[in-house]
Chains A and B, each alone.
Chain A
Amino acid sequence: MSELFYDAAPNATRVAPERPGPRQYPAKPREVVLFGTCVVDLFFPEAGLDAIRLLEREGIRVHFPEGQSCCGQPAWTSGYATEARVVARAQLAILDAGMPVVVPSGSCAGMFRQHYRELFAEEPDTLERVASLAERTFELTEFLLNVCQVEWHDLGEPTRIALHTSCSARREMNTHLHARELLGKLAKVERVDHHHESECCGFGGTFSVRMPEVSGAMVKDKTESLVTSGADEMVTADGGCLMNINGSLDKQQQAFRGRHLASFLWERVSGEGKA
């Protein structure tokens, strides 16, 4: 360290919370819980099922607790912390069992890993359970890559895809490069770049309905760069972004579509869905 890098901390009152750095991964467990997320539950259930299949393929027994609903994020990001806390507490109770929790969505995983800490900041007892859940929570792609260390044989036809990475994967979970690596394991999949790949698609939960003008401009730019990328389709590991992007493409009557990465991966490695 040079002269300049002296310790400046002695009287600091508060230092910003850290974004997650690299994490230590456990050995592959025998059982996991899948937290489906409310958006996948209702709108993309096949993606949730494909996530289960991908995990089972690795010899893991998957549990799907029936009591699960929503991680609490919509209320939390809208400013309704009390309401979010009640829903979060219900999920905590369901996910308490100590098994790893796999989530097919960066933003809901980010809620467990990052925001439950803020939500329960004033409840020391709950914070312990929150820490345990955060420790056990994995976004699907990081789990497949780093815990399962999957090796796949690509059974699909050659294809070009554009990958959309969510902001939460990037900034709350540090998992945005995992999908890229997973796709890299598929011999016949070519990943094409698109403009402003790291920029937000404009969803932001209730942002999309509170600020429809700005959000709409964001998603239009996003769909345009996807459509012009030369890819056959888009894949993403986040249900919210998927709903946003596909909903906008549909409104614009574009043929191009996105789908959940879990479904895409399952199709490639199982050979199912081939025409």
Chain B
Amino acid sequence: MSERIPVTELTDGFRDRAEVALADGQLRTNFRTAMDSLMKKRADAFPDEEEREGLRELGNRIKARALSRLPDLLEQLEAKLTDNGVKVHWAETTEQANEIVHGIIQARQGSQVVKGKSMVSEEMEMNDYLAERGVECLESDMGEYIVQLDGEKPSHIIMPAIHKNRSQVSKLFHDKLGVEETDDVNELIQIGRRTLRRKFMEADVGVSGVNFAIAETGTLLLVENEGNGRMSTTAPPVHIAVTGIEKVVENLRDVVPLLSLLTRSALGQPITTYVNMISGPRKADELDGPEEVHLVLLDNGRSGAFADAQMRQTLNCIRCGACMNHCPVYTRVGGHTYGEVYPGPIGKIITPHMVGLHQVPDHPSASSLCGACGDVCPVKIPIPELLQRLRQENVKSPAEGAKVKDGGAKYSRKERLVWRFWRTLNSSPVLYRLFLWGATRFRKLTPKNVGPWTENHTAPVPAKRSLHDLAREHLARNGGQ
């Protein structure tokens, strides 16, 4: 229909940041190239469609089953880990989680932390929290190290520095570390490594994330490719793992298909270089490993998502990043445009539970609902369907009572009135035909400027005669209805 759709004023800055990103040619090229290659890698990793679909189905069921017993599994996990000598901590908010981590560091009088890549620690803004308290927290994953060096946030959940190309990294190293500029990727990695190696030996505490927490055995499983994760979890005397409560699965058998889905969806790898399975601190007769292991289980809005049968599916996510890699919006604007820790399609459906929909009112609309994300998600999260739901929650009036945290942020009386008008028009054949008649008859009067649409298009001009008219005439001639 051609009536204008008013856009509410309330915004989270997504559009402004998008405009900046879209104007940055280098950034757009970096993302297009990277995403094209990742899409190809994933496709190559799943050559057999039947196997892929069977595996996705299984992944979905494993996660749904685990979530259906979430409280039980978390208790079991805690009991098992405690038996294994791991200390388990619970945090409802990121503030609490940070306090816990800081408390553990203080108890050891630590001042230096090395961190393996962990999105939950980003969620907690742990680096800043610790820095304010005199603890240096160094990222040891190469991508994370690069963004940290540049004072940025990750722009992708698997590849934090994907927005930079090699010459940008070279320049950054030159500026910050005082080394010679080089175009050789290997040399760049070696530069980073030399800096980090020393830090592993000096650190008091190592922090990591968790990919799967296995309730049956009390095992923390962590995948990575660079070995930095293994260093962070074994070299320092204390290891603190931080994770969201949704990462728990029932048993070791569950992990096998999930792991295969994760690595193949993320980087097209059959398996990662390192698969770390941590089940406790160093034992008396062992030569290495940390003396203390802690697990911090973070809620941060997850139990809110859990309580809603439809939104619960959000917690299926195994953080593979495939939805970003395949999202035409993410590909064009990059991760920083989202302004939140989790960008792309998964960010749009998980962030509202963490920070409230009113903080990210534009996110659910920043999608053409093309469906690419849902198609590739290894655990079959129906992302478009959930975006759709969030759009509904977004425009609910206060009286309608939104069910997702701080919903109703985009409620606008004016917009509601336009849709009411649209509804009346399209549910009344008489009015609709009157509208067709007017629009075709006065087509010459169609405005040249129809708001945002005409930024990228010329205004559509109604045809001389509507299909209603043409069909009636044609069918009458042909003896139809």
Contacts and interface: CB of A to CB of B under 8 A. Distances in A.
Given A171-B370, A171-B371, A77 B388 contact: yes
B442 interface: no
B436 A212 contact: no
Contacts of A78: 5, 391, 395, 419
A270 interface: no
Contacts of B69: 11
Contacts of B432: 69
A209 B8 CA distance: 12
A157 interface: no
Contacts of A14: 64, 309-310, 312-313
Interface in A189-225: 199-200, 202-221
B392 interface: yes
Interface in B164-181: none
A209 B368 contact: no
Contact of B18 (A52, A62, A75, A211): A211
B440 A42 contact: yes
B458 interface: yes
A272 to B, nearest CB: 14
Interface stretch (A33-41, A131-139, A147-155): A33-41
A45 B461 CA distance: 12
A271 B254 CA distance: 60
A69 B427 contact: yes
A30 to B, nearest CB: 12
Contact of B22 (A13, A36, A214): A214
Interface in A1-39: 4-17, 19, 34, 36, 38
Nearest to A200: B370
A174 B394 CA distance: 30
Interface in B433-481: 433, 436, 439-440, 451-463, 465-472, 474-475, 478, 480-481
Given A11-B68, A46-B463, A46-B470, A214 B451 contact: no
A230 interface: no
A17 B463 contact: no
Interface in B34-91: 54, 58, 60-62, 64-65, 67-69
Nearest to A209: B452
Contacts, number: 263
Interface in A54-82: 56, 61-67, 69-70, 72, 74-81
Q: Interface centre among A40, A42, A63, A65, by most B CB within 10 Å? A: A42
Contacts of B481: 63-65
A39 to B, nearest CB: 8
A48 interface: yes
A212 B5 CA distance: 12
Given A12-B64, A83-B419, A216-B455, A4 B257 contact: yes
B95 interface: no
B422 A83 contact: yes
A86 interface: yes
A263 interface: no
Given A49-B470, A66-B429, A5 B58 contact: yes
Nearest to A212: B452
A212 B455 contact: yes
A244 interface: yes
B382 A17 contact: yes
Contacts of B332: 214, 217-218, 221
A79 B54 contact: no
A147 B359 CA distance: 49
A243 B460 contact: yes
A257 interface: no
A237 interface: no
B457 A244 contact: yes
Interface stretch (B96-104, B144-152, B218-226, B372-380): B372-380
A170 B469 CA distance: 31
A126 interface: no
B385 interface: yes
B407 to A, nearest CB: 10
Interface in B359-373: 362, 364-372
A211 B388 contact: no
A250 B371 CA distance: 27
Contacts of A43: 460-463
A167 B371 contact: yes
A251 B65 contact: no
Contacts of B60: 15-16
Given A64-B475, A244-B457, A49 B253 contact: no
A19 B49 CA distance: 15
B466 A42 contact: yes
B463 A10 contact: no
Contact of B375 (A4, A171, A203, A214): A171
Contacts of B439: 42
A248 B460 CA distance: 10
Nearest to A88: B427
B427 A90 contact: yes
B106 to A, nearest CB: 41
B7 interface: yes
B264 to A, nearest CB: 14
A49 B385 contact: no
Given A11-B69, A13-B68, A248-B456, A170 B371 contact: yes
Contacts of B58: 4-5, 8
Contact of B61 (A9, A63, A199, A204): A9
Contacts of A52: 471, 474-475
Contacts of B380: 15-16
Given A200-B368, A251-B456, A80 B19 contact: no
23 contacts: A4-B58, A12-B68, A42-B1, A42-B467, A43-B462, A49-B467, A61-B480, A64-B471, A69-B432, A78-B391, A78-B395, A79-B388, A80-B416, A83-B419, A118-B388, A167-B368, A167-B371, A208-B453, A209-B7, A211-B362, A219-B456, A250-B458, A251-B454
Interface of B: 1-2, 5, 7, 15, 18-19, 22, 54, 58, 60-62, 64-65, 67-69, 253-254, 256-257, 309-310, 312-313, 328-329, 332-333, 362, 364-372, 374-375, 380-382, 385, 388, 391-395, 410, 416, 419-420, 422-423, 425-429, 432-433, 436, 439-440, 451-463, 465-472, 474-475, 478, 480-481
Closest 3 CB pairs of A and B: A204-B368, A247-B457, A79-B391
